[in-house]
A and B are shown apart, each in its own frame.
Chain A
Amino acid sequence: QLQLQESGPGLVKPSETLSLTCTVSGGSISSSNYYWGWIRQPPGKGLEWIGSIYYSGSTHYNPSLNSRVTISVDTSKNQFSLKLSSVTAADTAVYYCARYSSVPPSWFDPWGQGTLVTVSS
């Protein structure tokens, strides 16, 4: 059974870079059928797609975050990572990683349990 697990600091200072890693177990991140994505949810608010990566390294980012987001993949470790630069309090959220199919119709499944990142000095 495929499982995803987010990890990284729970507290980041304003203007610094948020860094998270998603570790995939029970399957290979190098599958040609899937993309690997990041989604976030501010406290009490809805879900926002951040971006995604293919095992080859091809990426797609939410235009609203594009200038601050970098997603990378390490196939040797079966991991992919998120970096979000110049964070502010508005970036405080639960960050999820998830898999979705590379061909529409796409759906996000499974999801990691999520990790809360708070931006505060």
Chain B
Amino acid sequence: SSELTQDPAVSVALGQTVRITCQGDSLNIYYASWYQQKPGQAPVLVIYGENNRPSGIPDRFSGSSSRNTASLTITGAQAEDEADYYCNSRDSSGNHNYVFGTGTKVTVL
């Protein structure tokens, strides 16, 4: 089965830019989707497909991908962006399975 690896934690100064990465073999085949999770809340979709934001997600969130790595970038981080972020994609095994990344805790300083 596939695995998606993320850095456990990153920090960013208020108003600055932070990039969160997600690595895995399945990302050579499938786009990642990205989820924001605040304490005690359900995950919320922030990026899907090549680089699409659901309605209501600020345009400071953007996504990109290259080979086996997907990235989520927050340009001009705000205090409310402090959260855990998870990537997700379909498994590369050919089965209809899905895998989540290990998660990244983003701290806004």
Write the residues of chain A forming the contact surface with B, with a CB cutoff of 8 angstroms: 37, 39, 46-49, 52, 60, 62-64, 96, 100, 104-114
Q: Is the CB of A62 within 8 A of B97?
A: yes
Is the Cβ of A49 less than 8 Å from the Cβ of B49? no
Nearest CB to that of A46 among chain B residues?
B103
Distance in Å: Cβ of B55 to nearest Cβ of chain A: 11
A46-B103, A47-B103, A49-B97 known; A96+B43 contact, CB < 8 A = yes
Cα distance, A109 to B100, chains bound together (Å): 14
How many interface contacts (CB-CB < 8 Å) are there between A and B? 64
User: Is B71 part of the contact surface with A, judged by Cβ < 8 Å?
Assistant: no
What is the minimal beta-carbon distance from A5 to any residue of chain B, in angstroms?
11
Chain B interface residues toward A at CB < 8 A: 1, 30-31, 33, 35, 42-45, 48-50, 54, 86, 88, 90, 95-103
Identify the closest chain B residue to A96 (Cβ).
B42
| A59 and chain B: residue at smallest CB distance | B96
- For the complex of A and B, list the 9 residue pairs with the smallest distance between their C-beta atoms, beginning with the closest: A107-B48, A107-B33, A109-B45, A105-B31, A47-B100, A60-B96, A49-B98, A111-B42, A46-B103
Chain A residues, Cβ within 8 Å of B31? 104-105
Pair B45/A49 contact, Cβ less than 8 Å: no
A58 to B40, CA, bound (A): 32
Which chain B residue lies CB-closest to A35?
Answer: B96
The distance from the CB of B94 to the nearest CB of chain A, in whole angstroms, is 12
Q: Which residues of B contact A62 (CB under 8 A)?
A: 97
B48 touches A105 (CB 8 A): yes
Please name 15 pairs of A and B residues whose Cβ atoms are closer than 8 Å in the assembled complex, sorted by A: A39-B100, A46-B101, A47-B35, A47-B43, A47-B86, A49-B97, A49-B98, A60-B97, A62-B97, A96-B42, A96-B43, A106-B90, A106-B98, A110-B45, A111-B44
